[in-house]
Amino acid sequence: MMPVFTEHFGNASSIHWFGQYAKALIDDARQQVAKLINAEVSEIVFVSGGTEADNLAIRGIAESLRSKGRQGRHIITSKIEHHAVLHTCGDLEKQGYEVTWLPVSVDGLVDPDDVVKAIRPDTILISIMHANNEIGTIQPIAEIGAIADKADIYFHSDGVQAMGKIPVDVRQLKVDLYSMSGHKIHGPKGVGALFVKKGTPLKPTMTGGGHERNRRSGTENVAGIVGFGVAARLAREGLNSEMNRVRELRDQLEAGLKSKIEAIHVNAENAPRLPNTSNIMVDCAEGEGLVIALDLNGIAVSTGSACSSGSLEPSHVLTAIGRTPDENHGSLRFSLSSMTTEEDVNCVLEAMPGIVERLRELSPHYKR
C-alpha cells in the first residue's frame, strides 16, 4: 500500500498515465478478490466495508425491484444476522416492507425447511449470513441457495466472516450477492466488496460519478483496495493449511479450558463452525470482568461482536439460541487468526483459571 500513498496517487477515473496506473492496480486487486470466491472480475464491486456491502445488497435489490414495478415487498432473514443486516431490514420494515425473522436452533443454525415455509408469492429477497460473527456457526448456504434459485428469489449472504477462513465458491452456493470485508482477512479497514452475480438488478444506494460500473459512485480508495487485493491473494494461497492449523489451535484452546475450569461450555459446539471462532460461556463469572482481567494479562477477547463489545445489551445471537441474560453476560468470544500461535493459546490456558476463580469468589450465585 505504501507506494500508492507516496508515489502512485493518481485518481483511477482519470485518463492520464497516473490515473490509468491506479486503475491497473485496482483491476489486479479486483481479480484477486474474484479468485478468492470463484467470481468473475466484473462481478466484484468495491465498497467501504461489510456494512455498506450489506446495505447495498438489501436496499439495492428492494429499490431496484420497486422501481421496476414489481409488487413484492417481503424479505426473509434470520434473528442472528449482523446488525448491518438486522437494522437495514428493520429500516425497510418502517418503509412498508414485511420481514420474516427466522429462528435458529440451539446451535445457531437456520433450518432450510423454515426458509421454504417462509416463502410467499411476494418474497423478493432472502438474506442469510454464511457464518456467524459471534458463535462461528456455518449456515447451510448451499441448501438455502438452491431453495432461492428454485423459487426465483434473489439470495444475499453476508460472507464477511467466512471469506478467507473457509473455502467459498459463489457458484456452488448459488448466491446472487455476497458481502465481504478487507480487515477480516488482515487487509486494511475501510474497504470491502460486494459480489453481484451477472444479471442481478441493483439500484445504487450512493449516486454520483458512476464509478464501479454505475453500482457504487465515489472516488476509489486505491490504497485500501490494493491492500484488500493482496490480503485476498495471501488468504487464497494459504487457505487450506491455515484453516487446519487454526482449527487445531481452537480445539486445543477449548479442550484446555474445559479440563482446567469447571462449569464452562462452548456455545454451538456441535454445529459446523468457523475454525477461528470460539464462544465460551463461563458459569457464575461476569463477562465484562473476564474481558478486563484478560486484557490486563495481554489477552484481547470480547463479550459479543467486536462492533458492539462496548455495549451492555445482551447478545442477540446468544439470546436467539436460548441463553438466559446471566448466561449471555458470562460468554466470551475468542477470535484466532493466522497470527495466533500455540504460545498464545497456552498463555490463555495459564491465565484464565485463576481469573475465573477470583471472579467466582465475588459471585453470590457460585457454589463450590
| pLDDT, tens digit (0-9, with 9 covering 90-100), for 268-297 | 999 999 999 999 999 999 899 999 999 999
**What does residue 188 show for φ and ψ, rounded to 5 degrees?**
-75, 155
Given a cut of 90, is residue 326 above it in pLDDT?
Answer: no
Residue 56 burial (CB count, 10 A)? 28
Measured distance CA(56)–CA(193) in Å, rounded: 10
- The residue among 279, 235, 254, 264 whose CA lies nearest residue 131 is 279
Measured distance CA(73)–CA(123) in Å, rounded: 6
Q: Are 22 and 11 in contact (CB under 8 A)?
A: yes
Q: What is the pLDDT of residues 132-176, one digit of tens each?
A: 999 999 999 999 999 999 999 999 999 999 999 999 999 999 999
Candidate list 89, 284, 307, 347, residue with the active-site label: 307
pLDDT band at residue 314 under the 50/70/90 scheme: confident
Q: What is the pLDDT of residues 35-92, one digit of tens each?
A: 999 999 999 999 999 999 999 999 999 999 986 656 789 999 999 999 999 999 999 9
Given a cut of 60, is residue 309 above it in pLDDT?
Answer: no
What was the pLDDT predicted at 48? Answer: 97
Sign of the CA dihedral with 300 first, then 305, 308, and 311 last: negative
**What does residue 36 show for φ and ψ, rounded to 5 degrees?**
-65, -30
Beta bridge partners of 265: 281
Range in 95-109, 184-198, 312-326 with the lowest mean pLDDT: 312-326
Residue 14 burial (CB count, 10 A)? 14
What was the pLDDT predicted at 72? Answer: 80
Task: Sort strands 74-78 and 98-102 into parallel, antiparallel or unpaired.
Answer: parallel
What was the pLDDT predicted at 150? Answer: 98
How much is the mean pLDDT over the chain? 94
pLDDT band at residue 362 under the 50/70/90 scheme: confident
User: Where do runs of H (alpha helix) occur along 38-78?
Assistant: 50-67
Cell of residue 128, nine digits: 442469510
Residues ≥6 apart with Cβ < 8 Å to 236: 32, 35, 36, 164
pLDDT band at residue 306 under the 50/70/90 scheme: low
What domains are there in the chain, each with its CATH number? 2-237 (3.40.640.10), 240-361 (3.90.1150.10)
What was the pLDDT predicted at 69? Answer: 55
Q: Are 219 and 151 in contact (CB under 8 A)?
A: no
SS3 label, residue 297: coil
Residues ≥6 apart with Cβ < 8 Å to 81: 89, 127, 128, 129, 158
- Environment class of residue 316 by beta-carbon count within 10 Å: exposed (0-12), middle (13-18) or buried (19+)? middle
Q: Are 195 and 37 in contact (CB under 8 A)?
A: yes
Beta bridge partners of 123: 74
pLDDT, mean of residues 302-331: 81
DSSP 202-215: ---SS-SS-HHHHT
Cell of residue 233, nine digits: 491473494
What was the pLDDT predicted at 62? Answer: 96
Given a cut of 90, is residue 207 above it in pLDDT?
Answer: yes
Fill in the DSSP letter of residue 133. T
What was the pLDDT predicted at 140? Answer: 98
Question: Active site includes 89?
Answer: no
Cell of residue 116, nine digits: 421454504
